[in-house]
Amino acid sequence: MAVDALIERVVLDTLVPDQIEIAIAAAGQLEQESRQLEGQWVLRVERARYEAERARRQYDAVEPENRLVARSLEQAWEEKLRVVEAVEQEHARWAHARAASDWPGGTCRATSARREPAADLERGHHDGSRSQAYSAICHP
């Protein structure tokens, strides 16, 4: 038990409210950056789809007797469709990696919910109760 008490003391000395606020602010900034990245991905996918649709309209507009032009427009359209597929797959991989990591999900999203238990942690330590505060901060 002496080791547990020592670890608790180190945690309490380390987790001062200012440091907790800084960590929460950093988590908020990571969340904002993540939302911006998601927005950029959405725009990138939309742009690729627009280019593919534009290539399709060009192909549809060509006269059938212009086979050479039609063939080159069809190839351009197919290339744009491959780009759309590649961008969508890249976005899906990025979204999956983001969801699987703690950045900015998981513990970072929960940090604002930990602000209150963190403030109560030292009180719980002094009155002998290891309440939810201890569990919420030390054992997420």
What ranges in the chain are assigned the alpha helix state H?
2-14, 17-61, 67-100, 107-126, 132-138
User: In Å, what is the CA distance from 11 to each residue of 16, 21, 72?
Assistant: 9, 16, 67
Q: At what angle do helices 107-126 and 17-61 cross, to 10 degrees?
A: 170
pLDDT in tens, 15-61: 677 777 888 888 889 889 989 999 999 999 999 999 999 999 999 99
Tell me which residue of 18, 1, 10 sits closest to 118, measured CA to CA: 18
Find the Cα–Cα–Cα–Cα dihedral 99, 104, 109, 115, rounded to 10°: 150
Among 6-20, 69-83, 123-137, the range with the most confident prediction by mean pLDDT is 69-83
- For the entire predicted model, the pTM comes to 0.59
